[in-house]
Amino acid sequence: MIPFKSVYVVMLLNLYIRETTLVHLIDHGYENVVIAINPRIPEDQTIIKNIKEMVTEASFYMFNATKRRFFFRNVKILLPADWKTENYQKPKYETYDKANIIVADPFLKYGDDPYTLHYGRCGERGRYIHFTPNFLLKDSLLPVYGSRGRVLVHEWAHLRWGVFDEYSKEQPFYESGQNQIKATRCSSDLRGAFVCDGSSCTEGNCRRSNQEDLLKKGCAFLIDKTQHATASIMYMQALASVVDFCNESTHDQEAPHMQNKRCNYQSTWEVIKGSKDCQMTAPMSGTHLPPPPSFAVLQTREPVICLVLDVSGHMNLGNRIIRMRQAAGIFLLQIIPLGVRVGIVTFGDEAEIRAPLTLLSNERRRKQLVSHLPTTANGGSRICKGLLSALQVFQNLGDNNAHGSEIVLVTAGEDKTINSCFSDVVAGGYIIHTITLGMQAATELDQFADMTGGCKFFATDRLDSNGLIDAFIGISSLSGNLSQWSFQLESFAESMKPGQHLSGTVTFDSTVGKESLIIVTWQPYSEAPDILLQDSNEKTYTTKDFVTDFSLGIAYLQIPGTTETGNWTYTVINTLNCSQALTVTVTSRAADHDVPPVTVKVHTNEDTLRFPESLLVYAQVTQGHSPVLEAHVTAIIEHQYGTPFILELTDDGAGADAVKNDGIYSKYFFAPAGNGRHSLKVRVQGKHSSPIRDDSPSWSRAMYIPGYIENGQIQMNPPQPLFTEAGIHTITEGFSRTATGGSFLVSQLPSGPQLDAFPPCRIVDFQVETDDENIYFSWTSPGDNYDQGQASTYEIRMNESPRKLENNFVNATSFNISTLTPQLAGSRETFMFPLKDIPVGNTSSLYFAICTIDKSSLRSEVSNLVRANMWVPAFAIMESVSNDKGSNEMFVVIGSITASCFVISALIYILNKASSLQTQRHICSRERMQLSRKIDVIEETDEVVIQ
């Protein structure tokens, strides 16, 4: 019989959803939402007050907007360690690194736009929401973004339900199928006016200056503050009338915003209804409102860590005990910053506290702890005994102070009794990081990390793997204080024959360089290898310059001061008469507290690959919050058996990559070497002139509202701050980084030969253009298997309705593109087709999509849909979006009577080309006279008709 505690814990685990924190949804309420304040933010109690007011407002607003489904039940606010202590609680599992919402300095040159880091597919959850201190403190920004609570709901929809914005800075206007120039928005029922607010519109009109532009530069669409339309929150939640998301009846499928592009013309409410949250939650009955959210204010403390190390007989295989001792020794000697308290516990059949909590106050204390690391292993494996002994180590801290302490559990053992301590360990409020070795370690170990917000790693027994050292270095600070991080610049390992050498190049850049450390490991208690290190100025270091510990098999060199930038080369020669594994690891800390270092964060979209599904591998390369572009990014995926799988990640906006040039490099992974755990590591090499984007990539964010129409008057907001240095700049030197992405599981992989189960990936950048004679298609080629290899054929089809094209693609009208052979994945494809051969019928516009077919006749998903006008009218008319009064001069530009005048003029021109211009002017003049009785100012006709 399964123990009750085990059943309870498994049930509890199912309530936790794998996200940036342990946030979960129970009985309509979101619980354990974490809002973390960056350590660089100066103390200001008003931030805490305004966060509480924001969340409270958002809770009720979201409850109504989701038709009585969701609200915020409890929220935790995590303060930096250096803010004044007022007996705040100590966090348990809550860390800055895994918060749902962060309060941090602006994205470089980004301003105070609230945004959500969301680069996944439609319906996939984002990483975090970013608010700036100015957004939370300055009431002058309320007219710009709307109330803070409404903005939070806008961003929560990005984060939690994976929907996108319904406006577009890149395409603020578009020409509809009815040949109207319309503002990009949802819903189209929202009224407003086209207003010139730029220097190129000084004449007071929005007429375009050439045929390529819909409207003149500087023309903006201002919303009327008085509205009857209730949608949509993903366009302009600031309006008092807006209380709904766009649904099927209010959604504008023609508008070229990200929601249409990324979600194939589904409305936001359709996507939300299809989310896991909605599937498990019916609307709340009754008419009563939910309770207001409760808040807990927590404060980060200095880390407290206990190493829990396996010394069972399993650790004698593959030199595991030696490798664990080396990796833990590096961790204690160099990686953990001074000021941290560390204890050591070992376990086999029984557990032993080898070292109580010891403050790392100097190098002597570091070496003292290293002396307590185990050297031998035997017997069985009782993981729970080791964990419970770690709880005893923390007891001296007291209950409140022990919360949030970290356990680093390293084990190779299979322990069928591990479930017996789940409830005790989880209830203790400790973060558990797991490092598993080999294939026999209990699969339940991952649950400890999942349930407590810890990291999970896997290290193979391969001698040419540096996975165990990588894992220890990967357990870095979770406080958000980058100055405390130890950045890994190099990690390389190889089994070398006698006399062979391990060599390579590592690049130091100016954002790192303090406490730089070069570490070499070899077989303990044997002769040290010959080491030759040369810096960027050709200064040479040899083995005698390194500090050597023969019992650990470690030699390390601490570079004094700030490391010289540039390329450093290393050579390590095996001096033994037998083969041995040699490793090189290089770490460094931030050079300047005020200059953010180049950072790499690695993860997958899921924890488990269930064959024949695939995983998405992501590497985010940034400096501060700014994306670093054009880096060479390589993922290394290791399994216990077989050679490592090498995957080149790209940031080209095709295949697995959602947005081009956003610093998120990605690729599909679908070829595991076997079932069980896999480790993930990424190597990044930046060029000498790697670009950095200081302008905003296409992440989801709240719109900066330029102004409103209020009571017939234009009310402009201050212009969005412009940064003269915004755009692209470059790093002045190259850089090297290595980062671990932890581990993931593979299951359901059959043995023996496998049928092709991987279709080409969906094309996401399908584009169309037309001229007088031809239509031109372009896209990035997918592969035979997702975004790798070479596909067999393409299909391009069209329909008047985007929904019909998406839902019934195979029966839509097709093109003959048999002459086009797909290129290798990642290539740019183009195809031209004569307009005269397209059966247009009575429609003025058509929708197009493409599908890819591989050699096994597997079909990709239908691509993004694109729209093209099939005939170009003599002119287009601005949509009629005037207010009910029809009484101010700006609405003359878009008044329906004036528009009618030009429709009449157009018809006369088409039906009777010989009609005189005077006749047209007479008709227009008569219409204007009628209009002049209702309005104060008469504008010129060319402000309405786009010539």
Kindly report, residue by residue over 747-767, the tens digit of the pLDDT. Answer: 988 887 778 889 999 998 899
Helix (H, G, I), strand (E, B) or coil at 358: strand
Please tell me the predicted confidence (pLDDT) of residue 930. 34
Residues 3-20: tens digit of each pLDDT: 333 333 333 333 333 344
Cα 752 to the chain's mean position, in Å?
A: 36
pLDDT band for 202, please (50, 70, 90 cuts).
low
Phi-psi region of 915 (alpha: psi -120 to 50; beta: other; left: phi over 0): beta
Please tell me the predicted confidence (pLDDT) of residue 37. 96
Contacts of 718 (CB under 8 A, 6+ apart): 140, 144
Strands 615-623 and 664-669: antiparallel
Neighbours of 279 (CB within 10 A): 9
pLDDT band for 877, please (50, 70, 90 cuts).
low
Interval 118-124 mean pLDDT: 88
Cβ atoms of residues 625 and 114 within 8 Å: no
- Give the dihedral sign, CA 273/275/279/285: negative
Average pLDDT, whole number, for the chain?
Answer: 84
pLDDT band for 358, please (50, 70, 90 cuts).
very high
pLDDT of residue 942 exceeding 70: no
DSSP element (H, E) containing 799:
strand 793-799
Q: Which residue has the higher pLDDT, 893 or 834?
A: 834
Please tell me the predicted confidence (pLDDT) of residue 696. 58
Cβ atoms of residues 31 and 448 within 8 Å: no
CA 483 – CA 855 distance, rounded (Å): 51
pTM of structure: 0.85
Sheet containing 707-710: give its strands across: 192-196, 219-224, 707-710, 713-716
Cβ atoms of residues 103 and 131 within 8 Å: yes
pLDDT of residue 588 exceeding 80: yes
pLDDT of residue 385 exceeding 60: yes
Please tell me the predicted confidence (pLDDT) of residue 836. 85
pLDDT band for 226, please (50, 70, 90 cuts).
very high
Task: For tokens 């050439």, name the residue.
Answer: 210
Helices (H) and strands (E) in the chain, counts: 20, 51
Please tell me the predicted confidence (pLDDT) of residue 18. 38
CA 459 – CA 437 distance, rounded (Å): 5
DSSP element (H, E) containing 814:
strand 813-814
DSSP state of 834: E
Please tell me the predicted confidence (pLDDT) of residue 73. 97
Please tell me the predicted confidence (pLDDT) of residue 31. 96
Please tell me the predicted confidence (pLDDT) of residue 893. 36
Cβ atoms of residues 661 and 629 within 8 Å: yes
CA 749 – CA 757 distance, rounded (Å): 11
pLDDT band for 152, please (50, 70, 90 cuts).
very high
CA 313 – CA 379 distance, rounded (Å): 5
Residues 166-194: tens digit of each pLDDT: 999 888 988 877 778 899 999 999 999 88
pLDDT band for 344, please (50, 70, 90 cuts).
very high
Please tell me the predicted confidence (pLDDT) of residue 479. 54
Please tell me the predicted confidence (pLDDT) of residue 119. 84
Cβ atoms of residues 89 and 296 within 8 Å: yes
Q: Which amino acid is at 297?
A: V
CA 898 – CA 878 distance, rounded (Å): 10
Interval 116-145 mean pLDDT: 93
CA 206 – CA 873 distance, rounded (Å): 19
Cβ atoms of residues 902 and 877 within 8 Å: yes
pLDDT of residue 722 exceeding 50: yes
Strands 845-853 and 793-799: antiparallel
Q: Which residue(s) pair with 772 in the sheet?
A: none
Please tell me the predicted confidence (pLDDT) of residue 945. 26
Please tell me the predicted confidence (pLDDT) of residue 212. 56
CA 729 – CA 693 distance, rounded (Å): 7
Interval 429-434 mean pLDDT: 90
Phi-psi region of 76 (alpha: psi -120 to 50; beta: other; left: phi over 0): beta
Contacts of 314 (CB under 8 A, 6+ apart): 320, 377, 381, 411, 412, 413, 414, 437, 438, 440
pLDDT band for 198, please (50, 70, 90 cuts).
low
pLDDT of residue 100 exceeding 70: yes
Quote the strand ranges of 219-288, DSSP E: 219-224
Distances (CA, A) of 745 to 9, 374, 403, 641: 21, 29, 29, 14
Query: Which residue, 40, 120, 113, 265, is CA-closest to 618?
Result: 120
Please tell me the predicted confidence (pLDDT) of residue 796. 95
Q: Which residue(s) pair with 24 in the sheet?
A: 31
Active-site residue set? 155
CA 601 – CA 641 distance, rounded (Å): 26
Q: Which residue has the higher pLDDT, 655 or 270?
A: 270
Distances (CA, A) of 208 to 181, 610, 940: 11, 54, 14
pLDDT over 90 percentage in the chain:
56
Could you tell me the end-to-end alpha-carbon distance of the chain, in angstroms, rounded to an integer?
Answer: 81
Torsion of CA 140, 145, 147, 150, to 10 degrees: -170
Q: Which residue has the higher pLDDT, 86 or 647?
A: 647
pLDDT of residue 150 exceeding 80: yes
CA 393 – CA 398 distance, rounded (Å): 11
DSSP element (H, E) containing 180:
strand 180-183
Q: Which residue has the higher pLDDT, 789 or 688?
A: 789
Please tell me the predicted confidence (pLDDT) of residue 518. 95
Please tell me the predicted confidence (pLDDT) of residue 732. 65
CA 716 – CA 702 distance, rounded (Å): 18
Please tell me the predicted confidence (pLDDT) of residue 208. 61
Interval 35-45 mean pLDDT: 94
pLDDT band for 902, please (50, 70, 90 cuts).
very low
Query: Which residue, 81, 419, 475, is CA-closest to 307?
Result: 475
pLDDT of residue 944 exceeding 70: no
Listing DSSP states for 728-763 in one string gives EEE-SS-EEEEEEEEEEEEE-PPSS------PBPPP
Neighbours of 42 (CB within 10 A): 9
Listing DSSP states for 379-406 in one string gives S---HHHHHHHHHHHHHTT-HHHHTT-E
Q: Which residue has the higher pLDDT, 119 or 151?
A: 151
Interval 418-439 mean pLDDT: 85
